[in-house]
Structure 1
């Protein structure tokens, strides 16, 4: 059964704007951002998503943990971050359309933080904000069938994946399939779904945008609950995605390293043969000497193979 929502003119306008920005991102070769930017954005993602859930670690402390340095902080907060680092480092191993894979991700994310991580809840649960009950989740005996239906929608519905990612995020929070960790899992799995649309989303810190509008995020979840449709939440999350892409485009002048260029060009050319001129056409702001140096390093490192000589030289990724 398809979850209830409407495609509004605002949603269509946001989709058009996002598509335009993804085109700009691709043209600037930021669909796979420079190595340092990827690391920085990953840290921002983890810090923001966990701060929403009450974690106290700073960006600097998470950076130290990634660099295997010791830090002083509550044991639970450190464990939450270490678990999140493990999950985000394995994004490409999870299968976005499989409930079993989502449960595996939850198991890693919540290991040693709750009993039975990765297991769907079977009991009843309510979400309390302050002294008020903000949401009564569906009964435990309905969780498996509701999640199965949600994955069927995600896999089979014809709507745009940008829209389905937002619908999934909202419905996941409504179902509240686990005893704990639902907020961070909902945001994580939306990233997984968006990654199917464009590789740029793997390292786009959408969570930091959610954190900056955290109260509005909760308000719009509540509004969608009352209206019985995820329309308002779709509009909100598409705005968040648009803003995150705009932030990425502001840093497009960051210099790509030779490794970044070689990695990005592989996504463009695939397994086809190419020349130095093909490489230069993709990176118009580098010199012929820089292109030659990039390709020589890649050949020496065993990343690409070289055929022919001088003007007839061709290359191919292994």
Structure 2
């Protein structure tokens, strides 16, 4: 097939801007950027950062392989990555997940640790596919990291002939550099988000490898997002979105190809990114709140005078062990953790009540009609006026007005 025939039979592979961002998508995009900036500036301890990154990578690896039919559950993935053995019948699926996780770590090491944030090139695509397919044997239907040498199809979609694959990969990489301006050093986060999603779609349309294209395309998307400043603790967000809406994911791919228009796919993906970022932000906020509350308890007990060290420790531990955000009777409270069970089981109820009354006096616990809860209201700012209901941004504050590159939504 000549290049002229290729352009005739694959008119969606134009390597030109073929999308419009409506007002809702632009607003969602602006919110994504705001949350990314907030997460990037939020102080998180190295220990918590590492824990959140581990969870994000586990979720991302599970989600991207699940889209391709891998049936390992979240719990099985956690066991696998903790070093536990899975049944022999799950060995291949376990290897797929390990490969996906290794590929995410490869991208993270490259971008975050080594600072290698170069524009996308064919070598990167081959490296990602090589890791995705390594050690999978004959069940991986191709040579990992090498462009395919035959014609392939995905469902009803017949991918371009293999003799044009390397040309198409190079053309895509060149177009991404020119269209989205990363190499100029002035690419904004919102533009990078659009580049990541567009690159993912074009990669799947080219289908350059014999196997593992879906996972590789989502890793490419992850690379561009991470390069743009997406916090690694949100690494799983888009893969998880695609996994939880698989039929919609596939439908948007097909419609984008038929219409030669990425507008709807971009709206779908940006909405999923926003939802995932909001969930991540809430998770981080809750962890930060918990850490701050524990720190406050330690501060209070620094000034607390108690004759017996054992009583001091017992009361402080009671305050620390009390779950946040729930109410308990005295009997329920001492069963909320193994430590409290060991400490208070068999003790006289009056002694338990005395401890609660004391930490209540310290303003760490509140009581209402025999129900106790951690008095975390202390951490809520008391100097702010009541919050007004949030509404949509005025037109002058939408991303359209602030970013000329995105404001121009006319189709090319």
- Give the TM-score of the pair, scaled to structure 1: 0.74
1:173/1:182 contact within 8 Å kept = yes
How far off its partner does 1:36 sit?
1.8
Q: Any stretches of 5+ residues in structure 2 without a counterpart?
A: 1-13, 112-117, 182-190, 300-412
Q: 2:153 aligns with which of 120, 126, 131?
A: 126
- SS state of the match for residue 225, structure 1? helix
Instruction: Determine whether 1:67 maps to 2:67.
Output: no
Quote the residue 2:144 is aligned against: 117
Residue correspondence of structure 1 range 293-308 to structure 2 within 5 A = none
Quote the residue 1:7 is aligned against: 20
How far off its partner does 1:203 sit?
3.9
Kindly provide the CA deviation profile for residues 86-127 of structure 1, in whole angstroms up to 9, marking residues without a partner as x: 212211237552211220121111013323110111321111
Q: Any stretches of 5+ residues in structure 1 without a counterpart?
A: 259-282, 291-318
Quote the residue 1:168 is aligned against: 199
Kindly provide the CA deviation profile for residues 263-315 of structure 1, in whole angstroms up to 9, marking residues without a partner as x: xxxxxxxxxxxxxxxxxxxx9x978x99xxxxxxxxxxxxxxxxxxxxxxxxx
Residue correspondence of structure 1 range 206-217 to structure 2 within 5 A = 206=237, 207-217=239-249
Kindly provide the CA deviation profile for residues 217-255 of structure 1, in whole angstroms up to 9, marking residues without a partner as x: 011001101101222211211111111101111111214
How far off its partner does 1:136 sit?
1.6
CA distance in 2, matches of 1:256, 1:189: 34
**Residues 97 and 202 of structure 1: is their aligned pair in 2 closer, same or farther, counting only changes over 3 Å?**
farther
How far off its partner does 1:202 sit?
6.0
**Residues 41 and 202 of structure 1: is their aligned pair in 2 closer, same or farther, counting only changes over 3 Å?**
closer
1:11/1:235 contact within 8 Å kept = yes
**Residues 171 and 34 of structure 1: is their aligned pair in 2 closer, same or farther, counting only changes over 3 Å?**
same
How far off its partner does 1:54 sit?
0.8
**Residues 203 and 8 of structure 1: is their aligned pair in 2 closer, same or farther, counting only changes over 3 Å?**
closer
2:53/2:232 contact within 8 Å kept = no
How far off its partner does 1:257 sit?
11
2:122/2:169 contact within 8 Å kept = yes
Residue correspondence of structure 1 range 21-100 to structure 2 within 5 A = 21-29=35-43, 34-72=49-87, 73-91=89-107, 92-93=109-110, 97-100=120-123
Quote the residue 2:267 is aligned against: 235
Quote the residue 2:341 is aligned against: none
- SS state of the match for residue 287, structure 2? coil
How far off its partner does 1:30 sit?
6.3
CA distance in 2, matches of 1:147, 1:5: 19
Q: 2:162 aligns with which of 140, 143, 148?
A: 140
CA distance in 2, matches of 1:203, 1:126: 32
More divergent stretch after superposition (195-204 vs 138-147): 195-204
1:31/1:198 contact within 8 Å kept = no
CA distance in 2, matches of 1:170, 1:286: 46
Quote the residue 1:178 is aligned against: 209
- SS state of the match for residue 157, structure 1? helix
- Give the greater-gyration-radius structure (CA): 2
Q: 1:244 aligns with which of 273, 276, 285?
A: 276
2:128/2:219 contact within 8 Å kept = no
CA distance in 2, matches of 1:56, 1:98: 32
Q: 2:254 aligns with which of 222, 243, 246?
A: 222
**What is the root-mean-square deviation in Å for CA atoms of aligned residues?**
2.7
How far off its partner does 1:191 sit?
0.7
Quote the residue 1:196 is aligned against: 227
User: When the two structures are aligned, how many residues end up with a matched partner?
Assistant: 259
CA distance in 1, matches of 2:233, 2:270: 16
- Give the TM-score of the pair, scaled to structure 2: 0.58
